[in-house]
């Protein structure tokens, strides 16, 4: 049998993975803070008949890695005081049940006890006193708070008012968001729900990122690139199928014709 059929099969499987990734990107074209995935393929060698008279290599292809595109998405103005977009290299930190997670989706709400949380209810972390050994700090909005403002460095402040709605002093500092960034070896990866998880301890990112109040960061999915990848994946898949068909034909013919003459 021809070994080439295995190479073509591995190619078809790899293109299927590629299509799965394109599908996820376009499905999340309108997800706040979503990062598009890219597939990278790699050639693998397998020594099939090393002991034979003429060693023959089979070349496989497989998905080597899927990396997310780190470009920022487009900022969209929403005008909501608790819609926060990050400009530059940095992430918000949230307290998930499994540990600290990171996100760029800054669409926050206030929980019943005044804690600032994500849309799905995870507390957003405040700036810890010691960045090297961060203990979780939550941001609590006091009950009697008027309009909230968030500065570029993530400081959140509001005016306190009494029960009758009368202002009791100027703008009060309520807290500051924990803003972090990652290096190469931190293994930042997706976890779903627009959250990311990392192995390393991130460093503070107050000098590389700015918070923009009243904006949200859209997905960085490019529809044209998505269509291009989609066409490439389906056409390559088709081509691999043709190759598989040809090998099948060759094998059939070999079996029939060579077999009939002997």
Partner 1 sequence: MFRALTTAATGMEAQQTRIDTTAHNMANVNTTGFKRARAEFQDLLYDTQRNPGGQNGNGATLPVGIQIGQGTRLVGTMQMHQQGSLAQTGNPMDLAIEGRGFFQVTQPNGETTFTRAGNLKVDDQGQLVTVDGLPLEPLITIPPDAASVTVTADGIVSVTVAGDTQSQEVGQLLLATFPNPAGLEAIGRSQFRPTTASGIALVGPPGQDGTGTLSQGFLEGSNVEVVNEMIDLITSQRAYEVNQKVIEASDEMLQRTTR
Q: Which of residues 12-31 bind partner 1 (CB under 8 A)?
A: 12, 15-17, 19-31
Torsion of CA 125, 128, 134, 139, to 10 degrees: -20
CB of 221 to partner 1, least distance (A): 9
Q: Are 156 and 83 in contact (CB under 8 A)?
A: no
Q: Is 87 in the site for partner 1 (CB under 8 A)?
A: no
How far is residue 111's CA from residue 119's CA, in Å, rounded to a whole number?
10
Of the pair 109, 210, the CB lying nearest partner 1 is at 109
Return the sign of the alpha-carbon dihedral for residues 186, 99, 195, 16.
Answer: positive
Query: Taking CB under 8 A as the rule, does residue 201 contact partner 1?
Result: no
Q: What are phi and psi of 78, to 5 degrees?
A: -120, -25
Separation in Å, CA 257 to CA 198, 221, 250, 253, 254: 59, 53, 10, 6, 5
Interface with partner 1 in residues 35-74 (CB under 8 A): 37, 63-67
Please pick, from the candidates 56, 70, 191, 207, the single residue that binds partner 1 as defined by CB under 8 A: 191
Q: Does 239 bind partner 1 (CB under 8 A)?
A: no
Is residue 213 a contact point for partner 1 (CB under 8 A)?
no
As a whole number of angstroms, the distance between CA 176 and CA 153 comes to 8
Q: Does 143 bind partner 1 (CB under 8 A)?
A: yes
207 binds partner 1 (CB under 8 A): no
SS3 call for 15: helix
Q: Which of residues 94-113 bind partner 1 (CB under 8 A)?
A: 105, 107, 109-112
**Interface region with partner 1, contact rule CB under 8 A, candidates 88-96, 132-140, 165-173, 252-260:** 165-173
238: contact with partner 1 by CB under 8 A: yes
Binding of partner 1 at residue 146 (CB under 8 A)? yes
């Amino acid at each position: 049998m021809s070994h080439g059929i295995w190479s073509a099969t591995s190619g078809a499987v790899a293109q299927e993975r590629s299509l799965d990734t394109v599908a996820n990107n376009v499905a999340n074209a309108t997800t706040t803070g979503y990062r598009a995935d890219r597939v990278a393929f790699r050639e693998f060698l397998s020594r099939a008949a090393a002991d034979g008279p003429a060693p023959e290599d089979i070349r496989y292809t497989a998905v080597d890695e899927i990396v997310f595109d780190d470009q920022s998405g487009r900022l969209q103005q929403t005008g909501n005081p608790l819609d926060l977009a990050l400009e530059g290299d940095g992430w918000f930190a949230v307290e998930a049940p499994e540990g600290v997670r990171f996100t760029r989706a800054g669409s926050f709400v206030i929980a019943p006890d005044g804690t600032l949380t994500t849309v799905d209810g995870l507390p957003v972390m405040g700036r810890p006193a010691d960045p090297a050994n961060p203990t979780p700090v939550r941001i609590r909005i006091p009950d009697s708070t008027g309009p909230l403002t968030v500065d570029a460095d993530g400081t959140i402040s509001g005016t306190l008012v009494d029960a009758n709605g009368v202002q009791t002093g100027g703008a009060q500092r309520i807290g500051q968001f924990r803003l972090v960034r990652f290096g190469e070896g931190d293994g930042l990866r997706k976890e779903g729900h627009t959250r990311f998880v990392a192995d390393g301890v991130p460093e503070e990112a107050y000098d590389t990122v700015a918070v923009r109040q009243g904006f949200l960061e859209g997905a960085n999915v490019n529809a044209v690139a998505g269509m291009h990848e989609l066409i490439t994946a389906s056409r390559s898949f088709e081509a691999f199928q043709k190759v598989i068909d040809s090998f099948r034909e060759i094998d059939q013919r070999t079996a029939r014709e060579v077999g009939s003459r002997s």
